[in-house]
Chains A and B, each alone.
Chain A
Amino acid sequence: MAGISLAAIGVGLVVIGASYGIGKIGGSAMDAVARQPEAASKIQTAMIISCALIEGVALFGVVVSLLVA
């Protein structure tokens, strides 16, 4: 039981970190698109790549927690 609750706390921490990162990327991408609407598609691609990289790290945490729990 202790393992499961610790794993749940770990997942929570991972989610905080990942959502902070993805939120920051999303906000900056919005700013960038507002300044240069013609570069929207390029910004979007870069945004999705960096979101995917952050999400990858977050999912490492989720998988490790699943294995521990």
Chain B
Amino acid sequence: MRHLQTALAILYAGAIYVFIFLPVAVLVLFSFQDGTLPVPPLHGLTLRWYGEIFANGKLMSALGNSLVVALVSSSVACLLGFLAAYAFARYKLPASGLQRALIVAPMTVSTLIIGLGLLSLFSSIGLPLSLWTVGIGHVVINLPLCFAIIYASMGAHQVNIERAARDLGARD
């Protein structure tokens, strides 16, 4: 009975892992396809497509743009999220429940709607769209997540670590 259960568990988990990794594995495998169609049969492995990416200036600059937007917007989101989480965990603020609800509210709104709202705002004040406006949108979407995760990890034990640090002469 116990063995049967274990066998079933392994079988089930294995099937779900295959399901989870199937698209990623196929994508990676057929990115080396020696042919123009990324579907079976596999004609052989080649690095040709990767070579073409690196040779293509437009693709490389798009990759650069993605990296810059990702780095800047995630840094801003983490910084703002950390500062707010720190304040809520350490100080008593009026209506803190309401303020926390406001900060996590964008998490419950479709990213499409956040984008639409920003688009209408930016076009009404005449701000041209750019990577900056993209970054602003990403911070709106990611700030709630950064805040919620950092806030959840600032439990009581963290306060004690800070007290200990202060006792040992560390400055705020």
Do A and B form a real pair?
no
Q: Which residues of B contact A (CB under 8 A)?
A: none
